């Protein structure tokens, strides 16, 4: 572990080292079966135990009510952009969307193929530097749901508290699921690509209220209907076994650490360390407005683009990798998901002080 770097990548993102070590062994010989984890049938008792364990940890750690199904799907979070409206809307039906970043905007584009989409709020004109307060938009009476991205990975903004509405909520929680408490009962559907807080790319977690399974229009392709997967425990076809296995290991690690409540505390402390440093000097500026700051992705700027490039290069040489901001906004981004260690944040903060002192604007 001596040569392990601090990996600030926005996703795929750093995972608990002990999970990697276990996966490294299980891939070669899973539970002394004499076969590697990725070679065994998804219908074998060994794999069924894996998927059931992963599902039950999802339920336990997020306190998922019994009337919700937990699904493990393929296609990334991006496939949920169309699957949500394909399954939940119908011709002429309306839904309300909040346009708070790249991923929300892409979801809106796909939803427009399936229904009447009301974009009730957009922060695009201010480079997506905030998310709206509850009273800043209206949800139409006829809307089937209110859709939002709880954390905007690219812009570093997050809903500090979830939107409140009489309508059911639908959320893309790809970049903050399991990082803080959520009242699942307010949601019709939650989805999250695994590759930030949950594991490797290749599986998408979907949590759906079971009455919604009946809404899918006839003539929807079998694989695109949530009901297909719900009815078969995500085993209608071969699931992405390895990614589901790693998700289970990551959740077991989280449970062992103290669960969502505990990680939320740690996440708040890590983010506070970083934001305090940024706030303490004029040298660094946060992209997100107050009240919208993400605990997961901290986006910030230095005085010039040249200094940013130098900062990223020097940090990288010090084994702090992946600090470059997304190409659509530039600057720097420190992604500090659940598995990102506190010591890495401390090291970054110290480096920021030294760098600012050595490189006056």
Ligand X SMILES: Cc1ncc(COP(=O)(O)O)c(C=O)c1O
CA 344 – CA 235 distance, rounded (Å): 39
CA 158 from centre of chain: 11
Which range in 176-184, 242-250, 291-299, 349-357 contacts its own copies by CB under 8 A? 242-250
Which residue among 167, 172, 176, 270 is the active-site one? 172
Letters for 253-282 (x = contact with its own copies by CB under 8 A, - = none) are ------------------------------
| 109 tagged catalytic | no
Count of residues in contact with its own copies, rule CB under 8 A = 68
Q: Is 116 strand, coil or helix?
A: strand
Nearest CA among 101, 185, 115, 110 for reference residue 143: 115
- The answer to whether 64 and 70 have CB atoms below 8 angstroms apart is yes
Beta bridge mates, 344: none
Count of residues in contact with Mg ion, rule CB under 5 A = 9
Please report whether residue 294 would count as binding Mg ion according to CB under 5 A.
no
Please report whether residue 236 would count as binding its own copies according to CB under 8 A.
yes
Please report whether residue 237 would count as binding ligand X according to CB under 6 A.
yes
Structure tokens at 300: 């910030």
Q: CB burial class (10 A; 0-12, 13-18, 19+) of residue 35?
A: middle
- The answer to whether 184 and 162 have CB atoms below 8 angstroms apart is no
Name which of residues 72 to 101 contact its own copies (CB under 8 A): 74-79, 81-82, 86
Would you say 36 or 65 has its CB closer to its own copies?
36
Q: CB burial class (10 A; 0-12, 13-18, 19+) of residue 324?
A: buried
Q: Is 337 strand, coil or helix?
A: coil
| 231 tagged catalytic | no
Q: Is 342 annotated as a binding residue?
A: no
Would you say 154 or 352 has its CB closer to ligand X?
154
Task: Fill in the DSSP letter of residue 124.
Answer: G
Q: In the complex, what is the shortest distance from the CB of residue 324 to its own copies, in angstroms, rounded to a whole number?
A: 10
Please report whether residue 193 would count as binding its own copies according to CB under 8 A.
yes
Name which of residues 95 to 134 contact Mg ion (CB under 5 A): 101-103
**What is the residue-wise DSSP string for 219-268?**
T--GGG-HHHHHHTTT-SS---HHHHHHHHHHHHHHHHHTHHHHHHHHHH
Name which of residues 288 to 307 contact ligand X (CB under 6 A): none
Positions in the binding site for its own copies (CB under 8 A): 3-5, 7, 9-15, 17, 20-21, 23-25, 27-29, 32-36, 38-42, 44, 74-79, 81-82, 86, 106, 109-110, 113, 193, 195, 199-203, 219, 221-224, 236-243, 246, 319, 321-322
Positions in the binding site for ligand X (CB under 6 A): 11, 76-78, 103, 149, 153, 172, 174-175, 193, 237-238
Positions in the binding site for Mg ion (CB under 5 A): 101-103, 152-155, 278, 284
């Amino acid at each position: 572990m001596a040569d392990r770097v601090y990996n600030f990548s926005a996703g795929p993102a750093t995972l608990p080292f002990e999970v990697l070590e276990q996966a490294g062994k299980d891939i070669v010989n899973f539970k002394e079966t004499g076969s590697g984890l990725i070679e065994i049938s998804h219908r074998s008792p060994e794999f069924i135990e894996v998927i059931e364990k992963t599902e039950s940890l999802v339920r336990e750690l997020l306190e998922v009510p019994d009337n919700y199904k937990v699904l493990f799907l393929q296609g990334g979070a991006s496939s949920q952009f169309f699957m949500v409206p394909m399954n939940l809307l119908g011709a002429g039906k309306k839904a309300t969307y909040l346009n708070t970043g790249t991923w929300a905007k892409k979801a809106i584009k796909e939803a427009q193929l399936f229904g009447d989409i009301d974009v009730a709020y957009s922060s695009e004109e201010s480079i997506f530097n905030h998310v709206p307060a509850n009273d800043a938009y209206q949800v139409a009476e006829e809307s089937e749901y209110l859709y939002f991205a709880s954390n905007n990975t690219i812009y570093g903004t997050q809903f500090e508290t979830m939107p409140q509405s009489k309508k059911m909520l639908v959320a893309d929680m790809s970049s903050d699921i399991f990082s803080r408490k959520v009242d699942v009962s307010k949601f019709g559907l939650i989805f999250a690509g695994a590759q930030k807080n949950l594991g490797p790319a290749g599986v998408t977690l979907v949590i759906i209220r079971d009455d919604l399974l009946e809404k899918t229009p006839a003539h929807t392709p079998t694989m695109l209907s949530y009901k297909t997967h719900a009815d078969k425990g995500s085993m209608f076809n071969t699931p992405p076994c390895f990614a589901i296995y790693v998700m289970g290991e990551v959740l077991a690690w989280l449970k062992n650490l103290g669960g969502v409540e505990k990680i939320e505390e740690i996440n708040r402390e890590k983010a506070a360390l970083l934001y305090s440093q940024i706030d303490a000097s004029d040298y660094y500026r946060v992209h997100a407005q107050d009240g919208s700051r993400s605990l997961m992705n901290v986006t910030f700027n230095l005085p010039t683009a040249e200094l940013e490039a130098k900062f990223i290069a020097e940090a990288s040489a010090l084994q702090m990798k992946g600090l470059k901001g997304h190409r659509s906004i530039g600057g720097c981004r420190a992604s500090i998901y659940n598995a990102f260690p506190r010591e890495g944040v401390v090291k970054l903060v110290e480096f920021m002080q030294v760098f600012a002192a050595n490189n006056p604007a």
